[in-house]
Structure 1
């Protein structure tokens, strides 16, 4: 299991609700959450063999910004 961490522009609960079906369609995700209290609005994903680029592309297709943090 690996943890992927992303900076996003998800600011409100309605934004999370909008991306939920998109993220849930990605294969290999065990768990995910968004920390709206963090200044970078951190998206954390626990996954098995998930490409960070696929997460970034998925959020971009949903109309939001997402960038992997090292």
Structure 2
């Protein structure tokens, strides 16, 4: 169960390998607006799941794009 102030954001990415994951790790770990995150590299959509008290989807996409990866909201 998550606290009421936590949102779960889900994205489709091209983060496919452990090396890719390491490339985005510092940026995601250092973002104050992200409580927790993980990437399911076994899923066809390489799903990035973010737990946050309030970072926006646009901010997450910008963070991932700055690292050289693609990211879009998973509907």
Bin the TM-score by the shorter chain.
over 0.9
When the two structures are aligned, how many residues end up with a matched partner?
Answer: 70
TM-score (norm 1): 0.94
Select 2:66's aligned residue among 45, 50, 61: 61
Give the alignment's Cα RMSD to 1 decimal.
0.8
2:37 is the alignment partner of 1:32: yes
2:13 maps to 8
TM-score (norm 2): 0.88
Structure 1 unaligned runs (5+)? none
Q: Deviations over 1:1-57 (max 9, x none)?
A: 110000000110000000001112222211100001100000000110111101101
| Structure 1 residue ranges, 4+ long, deviating more than 2 angstroms after superposition | none
Greater gyration radius: 2
Larger proportion of strand: 1
